[in-house]
Amino acid sequence: MNKHIFQSYIDNITQYYGISQKQLFSGGKDYESVEPRQLFYFLCNKKGIPVVTIQKFLNKNNYSIHHSNIVRGIERMNSKIEANEEYKKIIPMLEVITADVQ
């Protein structure tokens, strides 16, 4: 049901950050992977997708993560957005649903 939303966010984020989907969900702790991943959680949450649904999607796509890490990522991204006006400009571009996945 949310697959097209997930894929749109993945496509938008990977294009914006210049990374691959594999790198996005590599589990790496480097800034180049963590921030885009947290942004993915944030966008999904903003769209009203429950954390457990995000977690199930990621598990189906071979990325195992505990729901508390998703919640923490959303909280961190909220803090970053409040502290930095640039994010407020970027978010509307990244939340556009473009994927045509059924």
The one-letter amino acid code at 60 reads K
Q: What is the pLDDT of residue 100?
A: 62
| 28 within 8 A of 35, measured Cβ to Cβ | no
Q: Which of 72, 74, 11, 87 lies closest to 48, judged by CA? A: 74
Question: What is each CA distance from 95 to 7, 28, 45, 46, 62, in whole angstroms?
Answer: 11, 23, 11, 9, 23
Model pLDDT, residue 16: 95
Q: Tell me, what's the pLDDT at 99?
A: 57
* pLDDT reported for residue 29: 82
- pTM confidence score: 0.91
Q: Determine contact, residues 100/11, Cβ cutoff 8 Å.
A: no
Please, what is the average pLDDT of the chain?
Answer: 90
- In this prediction, residue 98 carries a pLDDT of 76
Grouped pLDDT means (10 residues each) for the chain, 102 residues: 89 95 86 91 96 94 92 96 92 83 50
